[in-house]
Amino acid sequence: RSLLFLTLLLLFSALFPGAFNCCTKISDEIPKGILQRVERFEIQKADGLCHLEAVILYIEGRKFCVSPRIRKVKKWMKKNKHRTPRKKPHGRKQRRIRVIKRKGKKQ
């Protein structure tokens, strides 16, 4: 039985990778000064596998789920849009840049 359960669990996590990353509880308050320590953040929408709207704050490798309706968080997110993880385009190869050395010039 446990082998069957483990197999189903692995299959489910492979088919729905975001299911185990959803916030299941959110805080309606945020401690003072915590926003200054945030390394990056993500916005969780209440669709698909995740059933709560949340802002996920990553601080020192830990994940904190807070309400997106907190005024301080909204204001902070507007200022710190650059901290959201950028998605890499799929199917595109990185262009390689060749450095051409010119004759006669020393570098």
pLDDT, residue 31, reads: 84
Confidence label for 4 from pLDDT (cuts 50, 70 and 90): confident
The dihedral built from the CA positions of residue 57, 68, 52 and 24, taken in this order, carries a sign that is positive
Greater confidence (56 vs 10) lies with: 56
Contact indicator for 73, 66 with CB cutoff of 8 Å = yes
Task: Give the domain ranges of the chain.
Answer: 23-104
Closest by alpha carbon to 37, among 17, 19, 57, 51? 57
Q: CB of 59 within 8 A of CB of 34? A: yes
Whether the predicted model's global pTM rises above the 0.95 cut:
no
Number of H helices, E strands in the chain: 2, 3
Give the integer Cα–Cα distance in Å for 53 and 26: 9
Does residue 11 surpass a pLDDT of 70? no
41 pairs with which residues across the strands? 57
Please state which architecture CATH assigns to domain 23-104: Beta Barrel (2.40)
Mean pLDDT score of the chain: 76
Interacting residues of 66 by C-beta distance below 8 A, sequence separation 6+: 26, 27, 28, 30, 54, 55, 57, 73
pLDDT (tens digit per residue) in 60-94? 989 999 999 999 999 999 888 777 665 544 444 44
